[in-house]
């Protein structure tokens, strides 16, 4: 049961909503509904005595056009903005979007009608999915996706799955419903939580490679990281010590210094952990925020025009997270290169076991570099540009929508990179018959070995890579 009150929605709740096909259990706060109704009444009263953007005026460059606050005006706004295009938005993202938007509306500053909030809540409960398209936002409000959703609630647009009884749009509902980045926040949250899982799994993958390569434990020692105590770096080193059963001051390793893939892992993984932590904090605020322009304040009895639709916090945090994850993935590919090198493993090149000239896991490097290149493209900043629209009135954009899409792509590429390293690490450990009995990382080896083919013959590794991707969630929990 997910609590929806405009204040306490969690990123994990958003993931639950996305993964739940069909009805979703939500507990809608009665107090929040009353607060939203109070704001709706105040918004109607304010519209009779002052200019209120989108209610008594047009929107964008038509902001100076005076209009009558009416249902007809609202329907025109929704119909004109429901011009999304491209592929349909994935069902999980639509579910997450609807939950986030419901929660934001229950913060009680939109001035939207209780009937429309109730219809949205019914749709979330029922698991009903409107037809929403991917394209139509640039980080200054998800106008097209939310207009399409609102029109589905009115009965004017199609439902992909299920439906709820149509509800009439009240005066002022249109802009109040559209004035949010809920679709972008949905994708950003899902991608962020996935990156969080993958970075946690990467500790176990790197630890398995460490054992396979007889790594030097000094690089993870407590005194080292106390000397430069960045939070993420310290946390990564501590996790490696835990997985590898290290004491505070470990004995010297096989080599005086390991390659960077092992030695610099905390220093590179640390910024990624910190960036994802910050990103989660940003999203936790955003999914519980009142972003509607204008904001209806029942405390002050007035409407405030503002720019909460702008999501620079989200876009810049996403850009930083993708850039740091890319660096971590580079280390994973580097460790894969070490795993196929006899100098580091004491095994045959490419972990081959057949006749002379056998290729072993040679192809893994090609797959990993292909995925890394895609990740590098996804890591490029989305914020280094702008857009001037609506006749120059709206003269900047955050592109958080595009940054969120890039984060989704980064997740797909990063998990492929980790999977390639995992396949090679498990094979190397099997071939060496490494002793993992007393190490906590043994659980990671057992989980991976259970799904990875034991055969060392030259054969297609497609299924092995897919199995390795599938076990990453388990490794993240070890």
pTM of the model: 0.96
In the chain, the percentage of residues whose pLDDT exceeds 70 is 99
pLDDT at 250: 56
Contacts (Cβ under 8 Å, ≥6 apart) of 341 = 349
pLDDT at 74: 87
Query: How far is residue 315 from each of residues 155, 167, 283, 290, 321, measured CA to CA in Å?
Result: 34, 34, 11, 18, 10
Q: Which tens digit of pLDDT belongs to each residue from 74-122?
A: 899 999 999 999 999 999 999 999 999 999 999 999 999 999 999 999 9
pLDDT at 152: 97
What is the pLDDT confidence band of residue 390, given thresholds at 50, 70 and 90? confident
In the chain, the percentage of residues whose pLDDT exceeds 90 is 85
pLDDT at 396: 81
Statement: residue 61 has pLDDT above 80: no
DSSP at 220: G
Higher pLDDT, 49 or 463: 463
In angstroms, the CA 100 to CA 106 distance is 10
Contacts (Cβ under 8 Å, ≥6 apart) of 375 = 325, 326, 329, 409, 410, 413, 414, 417
What is the pLDDT confidence band of residue 71, given thresholds at 50, 70 and 90? confident
pLDDT at 174: 92
In angstroms, the CA 126 to CA 21 distance is 10
Cα 387–chain centre separation: 24
Average pLDDT along the chain: 94
Q: Which tens digit of pLDDT belongs to each residue from 217-241?
A: 999 999 999 999 999 999 999 999 9
pLDDT at 437: 78
Nearest Cα residue to 232 out of 326, 336, 325: 325
Q: Which tens digit of pLDDT belongs to each residue from 275-315?
A: 999 999 999 999 999 999 999 999 999 999 998 989 999 99
Query: How long is the chain?
Result: 478
Higher pLDDT, 321 or 51: 321
Q: Which tens digit of pLDDT belongs to each residue from 423-436?
A: 999 999 999 877 78
Q: What is the CA radius of gyration of the chain?
A: 26
């Amino acid at each position: 049961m997910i609590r929806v009150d405009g204040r306490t929605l969690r990123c994990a709740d958003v993931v639950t909503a996305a993964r739940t096909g069909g009805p979703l259990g939500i507990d809608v706060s009665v107090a929040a509904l009353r607060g939203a109704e109070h704001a709706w009444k105040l918004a109607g009263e304010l519209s009779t005595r002052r200019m209120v953007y989108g209610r008594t005026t047009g929107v964008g460059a038509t902001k100076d056009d005076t209009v009558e606050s009416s249902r007809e005006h609202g329907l025109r706004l929704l119909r004109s903005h429901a011009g999304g295009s491209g592929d349909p938005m994935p069902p999980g993202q639509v579910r997450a979007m609807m939950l986030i938007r419901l929660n934001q509306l229950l913060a009680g500053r939109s001035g939207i009608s209780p009937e429309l909030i109730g219809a949205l809540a019914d749709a979330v409960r029922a698991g009903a999915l409107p037809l929403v398209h991917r394209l139509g936002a640039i980080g200054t409000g998800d106008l097209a996706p939310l207009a399409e959703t609102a029109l589905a609630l009115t009965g004017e647009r199609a439902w992909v799955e299920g439906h709820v009884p149509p509800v009439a749009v009240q005066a002022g509902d249109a802009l109040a419903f559209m004035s949010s980045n809920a679709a972008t926040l949905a994708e950003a949250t899902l991608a962020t939580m996935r990156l969080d899982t993958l970075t946690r799994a990467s500790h176990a993958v790197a630890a398995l490679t460490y054992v396979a390569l007889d790594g030097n434990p000094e690089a993870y020692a407590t005194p080292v990281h106390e000397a430069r105590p960045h939070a993420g770096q310290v946390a990564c080193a501590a996790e490696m010590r835990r997985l590898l059963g290290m004491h505070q001051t470990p004995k010297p390793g096989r080599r005086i210094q390991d390659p960077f893939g092992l030695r610099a892992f905390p220093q590179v993984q640390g910024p990624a952990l910190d960036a994802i932590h910050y990103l989660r904090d940003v999203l936790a605020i955003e999914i519980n925020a009142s972003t509607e322009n204008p904001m209806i304040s029942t405390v002050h009895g007035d409407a405030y025009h503002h720019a909460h639709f702008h999501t620079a916090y989200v876009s810049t945090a996403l850009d930083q997270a993708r850039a740091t994850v890319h660096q971590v993935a580079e280390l994973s590919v580097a460790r894969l290169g070490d795993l196929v090198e006899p100098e580091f493993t004491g095994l045959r090149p490419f972990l081959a076991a057949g006749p002379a000239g056998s290729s072993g896991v040679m192809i893994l490097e090609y797959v990993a570099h292909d995925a890394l290149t895609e990740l590098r493209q996804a890591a490029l900043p989305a914020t280094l540009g702008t857009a001037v629209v609506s006749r120059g009135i709206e003269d900047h954009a955050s592109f958080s929508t595009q940054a969120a899409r890039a984060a989704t792509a980064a997740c797909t590429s990063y998990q492929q990179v980790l999977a390639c390293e995992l396949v090679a690490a498990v094979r190397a450990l099997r071939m060496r018959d490494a002793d993992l009995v007393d190490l906590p990382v043994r659980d990671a080896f057992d989980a991976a070995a259970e799904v990875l083919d034991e055969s060392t013959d030259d054969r297609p590794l497609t299924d092995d890579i897919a199995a390795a991707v599938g076990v990453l969630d388990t490794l993240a929990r070890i």
